Amino acid sequence: MKKFYFTFGVGDTSDTGMAYSGGYVIVKAHNIKQAIQKFQKRFPHREQEQNPKLVNCSFWYTKDEWRKTTMQDGKCWEVL
C-alpha cells in the first residue's frame, strides 16, 4: 500500500465545507484512484451527487511529492 496526502485550506481562502481547517489526512491505497475513492467515501463533497469528480480537499500528493512540500509539520488529522 502507498501513502497519499490530502490537504485542507486554512482561513478565509478555505472552503467551509471541508472536513478540517489546515493539516492533512493520509490515505493508504494501492493507487491514487483508490485513494480518492476512499477519501470521498469518508469525506463526501456536498455536491458529489451532481459531480462525482469533486474531492473535498485542497490538493493531494504522492509520498514523493509530499516530501518536496513544507506541509509535513502540519497536523495529521486521520489515517485511512
Question: Residue 61 CA to chain centroid, in angstroms?
Answer: 8
Domain residue limits at 29: 2-79
- pTM recorded for the entire structure: 0.85
Q: Which amino acid is at 11?
A: G
pLDDT, position 41: 92
The confidence band for 20, taking pLDDT boundaries of 50, 70 and 90, is confident
Tens-place pLDDT, residues 21-30:
889 999 999 9
Number of independent structural domains in the chain: 1
* pLDDT tens per residue across span 1-11: 999 999 988 76
Q: What are the C-alpha distances in Å from 41 to residues 5, 35, 51, 67?
A: 16, 10, 14, 26
